[in-house]
Amino acid sequence: MIGLIKNEWLKLVKQWGTRVMIALLVLITCLFAGLMKYEESHQADSPTPGWQEKLQAENAAYKKELTEEQNLTEVRKDYLEGQININEYRLQHNLPVDTDMDMQSFVEGSSDLLSFAGLFVLIAAAGIVANEHTWGTIKLLLTRPVSRVKILFSKYATVILFGLFLLAVAFTLSSLLGLVLFGASGSSIHLAYENGQVVEQSMIFHLLKVYVFKFVDVLMFATLAFMVSAVFRSSSLAIGLSSFLLFIGPTVTMLLSMRYEWTKYLLFANTDLLQFEEGRTLVSGMTMEFSLVVLAVYYAVFQILAFIVFSKRDVAA
């Protein structure tokens, strides 16, 4: 099995296209860092005077929304309460909001760049089965004394490894750039509201959580592309369909979700797990547990389809 995964990994990274993708990710992260540095040099020094007044104003607005708004979702209500409590905690303990750019906030900001990593993993997943058919090498691959299930599994494992690799590259690179350009001076504490209490969390823990949640998003779309690749044997269809869904899906789902409640069963309503952290769920009544179950069902369907079709297929020219 290790040998099979090694094979797939070598085939993936020895391709010119894969190296370009890795280089692009590095380049984009560097550009983003440069841009942030430029922005920072044009900003006023902080802590901003009067941050207490600002937080109090914020809380007043939150409280107003909490009491006057009729159709607040549970998640939104929790979120508002959390924010109010966190702000009060800040006021009590004299913890100003750190608006200064530092290593941690840079790493958090550059987590948005994971969309690129996601796109690259999607492209790799779309090609990993379909390319063997295009190249004709599938005939040599499947006439070995290795079951087709094992071969497909090694390919999927390689996609996941590639995803983790890009994630690690992005995380390490943005940490390094953040450290060099902005320093590690900022507060290393992240305030979270859990079970009616404000808790201090380590920043690293918070950042890892953000990256892991974003990785779930990447994983779902990569699995979708992998399934299309294995079922339809066409990498262009797999890339086209899944990136179309990646870009259009969330928007369409959001539009639909304003009128129909069933949209909460759509894949795109659930891929963004940060929506629960940030109190902006698409459809009321959705919870983290609900989303995880929906995602698991989609994931299982994708995998079952891919494995059944791949192992039963007659390989013709």
Partner 1 sequence: MTALVELWNVSKVIKGRKIIDSLSFTVKQGEVFGFLGPNGAGKTTTIRMIVGLMKLSEGDILINGHPIRTGFEKAVSQVGAIVENPEMYKFLTGFENLQQYARMQSKITKEKIEEVIKLVGLEDRIHEKVKTYSLGMRQRLGIAQALLHDPKVLILDEPTNGLDPAGIKDIRRHIRDLAEKKGMAIIVSSHLLSEMEMMCDRIGILQKGRLTHIQAVHESSDRAVDRYAIEVNYPEAAVKKVISSFSYVQPKIAGSCLMVEAEKERLPEVISLLVSSHIKVYEVKKVTKSLEERFLEITERQEVMSG
Bridge partners, 202 (sequence order): 189
Residue 23 binding partner 1, by CB under 8 A? no
Distance CA 216, CA 273 (A): 8
Residue at 84: amino acid letter: I
Q: Among residues 24, 66, 91, 142, which is the contact residue for partner 1, using CB under 8 A? A: 142
Query: Min. distance of Cβ 15 from partner 1 in angstroms?
Result: 6
**7 contacts partner 1 (rule: CB under 8 A):** yes
> Looking at beta carbons only, is 87 or 229 nearer to partner 1?
229
Site membership for partner 1, residue 149 (CB under 8 A): no
Token pair of 75, please?
């998640």
Q: Which residue carries 């200064």 as its tokens? A: 100
Residue 140 interacts with partner 1 (CB under 8 A): yes or no: yes
Size of the site for partner 1 (CB under 8 A): 25
- φ, ψ at 117 (rounded to 5°): -55, -40
Q: How far is the CB of 122 from partner 1 (least distance, A)?
A: 21
Residue 226 near residue 127, CB atoms below 8 Å: no
Spatial contact of 311 and 150, defined as CB atoms under 8 Å apart = no
Query: Which CB sits closer to partner 1, 12 or 122?
Result: 12
Q: From the CB of 4, what's the least distance to partner 1, in Å?
A: 7
Give the nearest distance from C-beta 12 to partner 1 in angstroms: 11
For 68-78, letters b (16+ CB in 10 Å) and e give eeeebbebbee
Asked if residue 137 binds partner 1 (CB under 8 A), the reply is: yes
Max Cα distance, the chain (Å): 72
- Show Cβ contacts of residue 255 under 8 Å, excluding neighbours closer than 6 positions: none
* Piece in contact with partner 1 (CB under 8 A), picked from 3-11, 69-77, 180-188, 258-266: 3-11
| Helix (H) and strand (E) counts in the chain | 12, 2
**Residue 91 sits in the site that holds partner 1 (CB under 8 A):** no
Binding site for partner 1 (CB under 8 A): 3-4, 6-7, 10-11, 14-16, 135-137, 139-140, 142-147, 312, 314-317
